[in-house]
Structures are given as structure tokens and as C-alpha cells.
């Protein structure tokens, strides 16, 4: 069995590699060459933590496994550790034997950012100039770095529940040579592409905050009851997702469907756009919305890539099991 510890991940996985892995697995899902297992996600009744498992099997890439982990909201304050904690386990699909254990914290951040940037590549208008960020926490910095690589953006605007955190994303904008402006939520109407990365149980973004022609990637809703955007916005949009079953049960679509504003058939796989079996954006006035619920296959794809690189570079630890 191989172990690739968290400390090695930064030197092994690049944003480009994460993007390629996630784009490929979305395409495989839409082609039915890969599928996710049902998500288990529970409040454990200790430290206000949410803990769960995401897994799947990619027959095209011959990757089988799961990610175990969750959200410990007191970690940073109490232990100086990030709040999201995860570990990825890979198994040999031919034998069921464990193949590798991989640190999943940075990989989760990179694959989540890759998912939204894949959606921008395939759904945002080609002439998008203003990038909007709703949320300015740790994950938002990864999201913005990846997003800025997909279009020739000229400006970044941002909003956060805690405005004192906005310098986190201002720094990323400035590193890319772009001006940054803090705005009220009403100011998001200026954006051509928006990423929302918050952890809320009530909508932050209302339908009137998003202009015609905008692409919005909603990346924070991954649990029953969570909600980042008003359900009416999904009714105004062409909705895409990583996994339809998750979108309608634990993603943004859960609320719009419950209110009768859209049907399950109104939610499309982003992988179908990548494969060319869905036309994607059809006009410059269309609002496109990507509901990124986070699927186990994303984690497995980036972890498998990391294991291969770790073996080549001689940093994978081999142990008997």
C-alpha cells in the first residue's frame, strides 16, 4: 500500500493537472463510464462537526475509492488547523485491495476550484470581463486563482459576510494584475461570471443580483438544507451540475424543486457540454448556473494522478498492509 502524505501534495498537484482530471471525470460521468456512490454526510454531535463519505468508480480511468472527512468549524480557533479535513482511499478495482491513502485537504481545495473553472470554460461568455466573488474565505482564494485562468478578465469584484476578509481575494486579484473592488450584493450585477463559495442555510444571492448573460458557479451547497442562491434564480437560469442526483437532494436545486420552480429534467450534467451532447450556452443573454455539489469521483481522479506522480518522484511511502 502506498501513502502520499498531505505535506507532499503541494509539490505534486498543479491547478492545470486538477483541471484536466476534473474535466475528464465529468465527461466520463456524462458518458456513463463513471458513477458516484450515494453520499453519507452526518452531524456527529461533537464539535459541531459534519462528517461523511463520498466515493465512486470510474471504469474509464479504472479508479475506485472514497474520500472520508468533513467540516470541523472550530479547528482554526482551537487547533490552528483548517476546518475542512479529509483523506482519500484508493482501491484496486480488480481485487478490492487497498492501493493508496492520500492526504485530501489540498486536493479537495484544488478539485473544488477546478470544478468551477471547468464550468467557466464551458459556460461563461467568451467576452466575460468582470469576475465576481461572493465569499472570501480559504477556499475562495483557490476558486479565484483557477477562475482567472479561464477568461481575459479585467476586474474582480467581491462581497463577503465579514468584509474584513476581503483582502484574501483582493491579494489574488492583484497578483494577477487586476484591480479589485468591494461591492454590495447589488453590485454583483456588474459581473459577467460569479463564484459563490459560502456555507449558509439561507440564500445570500437573490435573482436580481445576477444580470442577463452571467454565468454563476454555486460551490458551497453540499448538504440538505444549505442554500446560497434564491430558488427563483434557478428558474431564470439554464442549470448545470456535476451530479444530478446530488443537485436535487443536497445541492442548490433541492430548493427550486421543492418550490415547484424547476423539475429534475431541468438540471443538466456539465459533462454533457464537455462531451458535446448538450449545447451549453445558446445566447449572450442566457444566465447559466453551475451547481457544484462536489462528487467523490473528483477526489478519486486528482488522488490517482497524485499517486502516479508520487511514485515517479519517489516520495510515495510504501508499507505492508
Q: Provide the annotated active-site residues.
A: 67
110 Cβ contact list (under 8 Å, min separation 6): 13, 15, 18, 142, 302
252 Cβ contact list (under 8 Å, min separation 6): 218, 221, 227, 228, 229, 234, 289, 291
Give yes or no for a contact between 273 and 124, defined as CB atoms under 8 angstroms apart: no
User: How far is 290 from 293, CA to CA, in rounded Å?
Assistant: 9
Give yes or no for a contact between 68 and 86, defined as CB atoms under 8 angstroms apart: yes
Q: Is the dihedral of CA 199, 22, 52, 89 positive or negative?
A: negative
Q: Strand 317-318 to strand 2-4: parallel, antiparallel, or no bridges (unpaired)?
A: antiparallel
Helix 138-147 with 105-123: angle, nearest 10 deg: 40
**Around Cβ 44, how many Cβ atoms within 10 Å?**
12
> Which residues on adjacent β-strands are paired with residue 52?
41, 69
100 Cβ contact list (under 8 Å, min separation 6): 1, 2, 3, 4, 89, 90, 303, 307, 316
Amino acid at each position: 500500500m502506498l501513502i502520499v502524505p498531505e505535506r507532499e501534495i503541494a509539490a505534486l498537484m498543479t491547478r492545470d493537472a486538477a483541471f484536466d482530471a476534473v474535466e475528464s471525470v465529468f465527461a466520463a460521468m456524462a458518458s456513463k463510464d463513471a458513477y458516484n456512490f450515494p453520499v453519507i454526510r452526518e452531524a456527529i454531535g461533537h464539535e459541531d462537526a459534519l462528517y461523511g463519505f463520498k466515493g465512486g468508480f470510474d471504469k474509464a480511468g479504472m479508479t475506485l475509492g472514497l474520500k472520508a472527512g468533513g467540516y470541523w468549524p472550530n479547528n482554526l480557533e482551537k487547533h490552528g488547523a483548517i476546518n475542512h479535513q479529509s483523506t482519500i482511499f484508493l482501491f484496486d478495482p480488480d481485487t478490492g485491495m487497498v492501493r493508496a491513502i492520500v492526504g485530501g485537504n489540498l486536493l479537495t481545495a484544488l478539485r473544488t476550484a477546478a470544478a468551477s473553472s471547468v464550468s467557466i470554460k464551458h459556460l461563461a461568455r467568451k467576452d466575460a470581463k468582470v469576475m465576481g466573488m461572493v465569499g472570501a474565505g480559504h477556499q475562495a482564494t483557490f476558486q479565484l486563482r483557477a477562475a482567472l485562468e479561464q477568461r481575459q478578465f479585467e476586474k474582480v469584484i467581491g462581497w463577503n459576510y465579514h468584509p474584513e476578509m476581503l483582502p484574501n481575494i483582493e491579494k489574488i486579484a492583484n497578483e494577477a494584475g487586476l484591480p479589485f473592488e468591494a461591492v454590495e450584493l447589488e453590485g454583483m450585477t456588474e459581473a459577467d461570471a460569479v463564484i459563490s463559495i459560502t456555507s449558509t442555510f439561507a440564500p445570500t444571492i437573490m435573482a436580481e443580483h445576477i444580470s442577463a448573460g452571467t454565468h454563476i458557479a454555486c460551490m458551497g451547497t453540499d448538504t440538505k438544507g444549505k442554500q446560497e442562491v434564491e430558488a427563483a434564480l434557478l428558474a431564470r437560469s439554464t442549470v448545470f451540475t456535476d451530479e444530478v442526483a446530488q443537485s436535487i437532494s443536497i445541492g442548490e436545486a433541492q430548493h427550486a424543486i421543492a418550490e415547484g420552480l424547476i423539475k429534475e429534467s431541468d438540471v443538466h450534467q456539465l459533462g454533457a457540454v464537455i462531451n458535446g451532447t448538450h449545447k451549453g450556452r445558446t445566447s449572450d443573454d442566457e444566465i447559466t448556473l453551475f451547481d457544484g455539489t462536489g462528487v467523490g469521483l473528483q477526489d478519486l481522479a486528482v488522488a490517482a494522478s497524485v499517486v502516479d506522480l508520487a511514485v515517479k518522484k519517489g516520495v510515495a511511502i510504501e508499507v505492508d498492509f
